[in-house]
Amino acid sequence: MEKHHLILIGFMGTGKSTVGRMLAERLGWPWVDTDTEVERQAGRSIPELFAEGGEVRFREWEKRILWKVTEGETKVITTGGGIVLDPANTNRIATSGWTVALDATEEELIRRLVSDQSRPLLEGNARRRVRELKRERQGVYDFADFYLDTTGLTPAASVERIIKSWKGCSDGGGV
Contact positions toward ligand S3P, by CB under 6 A?
Answer: 12, 16, 35, 46, 80-82, 119-121
Q: 86: annotated binding-site residue?
A: no
Which secondary structure element, helix H or strand E, spans residue 10, and what is its range? strand 5-10
CB of 168 to ligand S3P, least distance (A): 27
**Cβ contacts of residue 154 below 8 Å, gap of 6+?**
none
Q: How far is the CB of 21 from ligand S3P (least distance, A)?
A: 12
Q: Which is nearer to ligand S3P, 75 or 119 (CB)?
A: 119
In the complex, what is the shortest distance from the CB of residue 87 to ligand S3P, in angstroms, rounded to a whole number? 15
Q: Which amino acid is at 40?
A: R
Residue 145 assigned as binding residue: no
Amino acid at 95: T
When the beta carbons of 5 and 170 are compared against ligand S3P, the nearer one is: 5
One-letter amino acid for residue 151 of the chain: T
Give CA torsion, residues 29, 66, 42, 101, to 10 deg.
-70
Is 17 annotated among the ligand-binding residues? yes
137 known ligand binder: yes
63 known ligand binder: no
Least Å from the CB of residue 154 to ligand S3P: 19
Q: How far is the CB of 150 from ligand S3P (least distance, A)?
A: 13
Does the annotation list 45 as a binding residue? no
User: What whole-number distance in Å separates Cα of residue 116 and Cα of residue 101?
Assistant: 22
In this structure, which amino acid lies at residue 8?
A: L
Give the span between the Cα atoms of 46 and 66, in whole angstroms: 15
Instruction: Please write down the long-range contacts of 41-45, taking CB distance under 8 Å and 24 or more positions apart.
Output: 41/65, 45/118
Q: Which residues belong to the annotated binding site for Mg(2+)?
A: 17
Q: Which residues belong to the annotated binding site?
A: 13-18, 35, 59, 81, 119, 137
Q: Which residues belong to the annotated binding site for substrate?
A: 35, 59, 81, 137
Q: Which residues belong to the annotated binding site for ATP?
A: 13-18, 119
